[in-house]
Structure 1
Amino acid sequence: MAEELHFGHAAQKLDMLPSALGRYIKLLEEDLGTRLLSRSTRNVSLTAHGALFLGDAKEIVAKADQLQQRFKKLARQNSGRLRIGAIDSATINLVPHVLHIFRERWPEVDIQIVEDKSSKLLPKLKSGRLDLIFIRPTDQMDDVLENQFLFYEDVVLAISDKHRLAQCGEIVVSDLENVPMIVPERRVRPHSYDLTLDLFDNASFKPRLVQIADEKQTIINMVAAELGAAIMPKWVTRMSALNVKFIPLAKEYINIRQKLPLSAVWVKDSRDETRDNMMAVVMQELEVISQQY
């Protein structure tokens, strides 16, 4: 209106009736407590206050447009990137499996993968450095996080192929009496540590614990060196393991399997179409993936 100085022309540009435009301007003037336009039967002109308001209003509108464009650009950038965090278990099969399918559908998306422990990935997710993580969920997840349980992993006993138990088809707890059990430090890998101790909950003897390694490949190497046995996730059978035999636990220990949950976690109420597309692939392929764990 300030540029046209004509109600009819200005209303036409704004795709509204001249009378409606006139009401909006009157309401604005009443709200500001001053006249912005000087009207007569033949022409319309800006008052002194109107000219002052016009300059400031143009600056505000320009900044609003810039802000809108800035965030539209950020949205486009974010839609082309997905930062995933995953524990070692997830990087073995789950992540490669879903990435293969995801890239076929959205080849333009830049995928970044960070492998770390659950305790290290959670802070990175909450600080915005990751968009989606695959972890062992904690007993009490933060309220700001969305936790989608995926499946439980099977467990096996890793033992030297020279040990008397190496010929067993399955293992029961009584077999492990007097067998040194290699476990990680609890503060480093709480799920792995508790997995071993929980197996002996109802045993008539206490396990012989040996805390000499935290990383799974190192533990397997210690098993190969006949320093003890280890209760481990089934996926470790895919790692290089000379002189090591992996034996399943007896079916009666199904509750032990539930000590190894795997979940997808992301920030609750955050809008991210790319992340949601990835989760759609995960849930679509979940039955196939879980059978490999």
Structure 2
Amino acid sequence: MPVELHQLRCFIAVADELHFGHAAQKLDMLPSALGRYIKLLEEDLGTRLLTRSTRNVALTAHGTLFLPEARELIERADDIQKRFQKLARQNAGRLRIGAIDSAAVSLIPHVLHHFREQWPEVELSFLEDKSSRLLPKLKTGRLDLIFIRPQSLMDSALFSQFLFYEDVVLAISEKHPLANRTEINVEDLRDIPLIVPEKRVRPHSYDLTLSLFDHAGFKPNLMQIADEKQTIINMVAAELGAAVMPRWVMRMASLNIKFLPIGQGYENIRSKLPMSAVWVKGARDDARDNMMKIVMDELPVIAGLY
């Protein structure tokens, strides 16, 4: 039978300690098991390597000759293992992630932290953009995984995993008479200008506000004067109107803003802010699969942040 590396490690430990008990402790194994490995090694080599008595262990002449050979074999084996482990880390792959602003606020930092702890060798890159710009990059292979608002007609080449719905609030100037309310009903918004992004630029955000009035019996007063959330918040602070927004915008630093829960009619709009993970079907990607496992394992925590 061929000599095994573990047998060599056992022999070296005994040769260094000249004591089976100490060598076994060093290798974290029982002395009886250590003795069996030494015996197997001697049988494989066809010669005695050690002499044993009740108190003493000594190297035989062949054992003395064999010890440096054993050390060299172990050193070479360890060196090969380290080199290939390093190569594996260098070629472990990369993961290119894209996300809309909502996902970039809490979801991405949360899962990247956990991913980096488990797979530090994977090269990570991140791009924040609108859903309409992330999808083409995913399809052409420039991104591996994106977190977006799911499309009504998703490309058949893509797989979409629904994650959660975001909560919604009304951003309003703290100087407005309604700012002291504990919640806002749809009827309260009859005479309030509502700042919305252009539908072509941010269709989900536009539809979010409009759908609030599906059963209100009146049309909202919409103002298309800003597209980015921070700009909309600034417009609200300037008392130009109010805005229906995802709850996470409450984290934006802004003076003179009050964020109010939406009461009556709220059920109509919650489904307007879904978050999904999307990737290309049939493409094997261990890094992406590992990331999605973290996402699904952490989903109860992540959803609570929104």
Q: Structure 1's 78 and 274: CA in aligned 2 closer, same or farther, altered over 3 A? A: farther
* Count of matched residue positions in the alignment of Structure 1 and Structure 2: 219
State the match for 1:89 in structure 2.
Answer: 102
Q: Which of the residues 106, 119, 134 maps onto 2:147? A: 134
Distance 1:173 1:180 in 2: 13
State the match for 2:82 in structure 1.
Answer: none
Q: Secondary structure at the match of 1:158?
A: strand
State the match for 1:210 in structure 2.
Answer: 223
Q: Which of the residues 267, 270, 288 maps onto 1:275? A: 288
State the match for 2:172 in structure 1.
Answer: 159
Q: Structure 1's 188 and 104: CA in aligned 2 closer, same or farther, altered over 3 A? A: same
RMSD: 1.3
Shift, 1:80, TM fit: 2.4
Distance 2:249 2:116 in 1: 27
Q: Is 1:186 equivalent to 2:180 in the alignment?
A: no
1:144-185 per-position Cα deviation (integer Å, ceiling 9, x unaligned): 001000000000000000001100101110000110000000
Amino acid across the alignment from 2:179: A
Distance 2:258 2:250 in 1: 9
Amino acid across the alignment from 1:224: A
Amino acid across the alignment from 2:222: L
* Structure 2 unaligned spans of 5+: 1-87
1:26-57 per-position Cα deviation (integer Å, ceiling 9, x unaligned): xxxxxxxxxxxxxxxxxxxxxxxxxxxxxxxx
Shift, 1:252, TM fit: 4.8
TM-score normalized by the length of structure 2: 0.70
Question: What pairs with 1:98-137 in structure 2 (closer than 5 Å)?
Answer: 98-137=111-150
Distance 2:266 2:92 in 1: 44
Q: Secondary structure at the match of 1:107?
A: coil
* Structure 1 unaligned spans of 5+: 1-74
State the match for 2:54 in structure 1.
Answer: none
Distance 2:103 2:91 in 1: 24
Q: Is the 8 A contact 1:79 1:273 kept in 2?
A: no
Shift, 1:77, TM fit: 6.6
Q: Is the 8 A contact 2:185 2:264 kept in 1?
A: no
1:113-148 per-position Cα deviation (integer Å, ceiling 9, x unaligned): 000000000000000000000000110100000100
Moved >4 Å (runs of 4+): 75-78
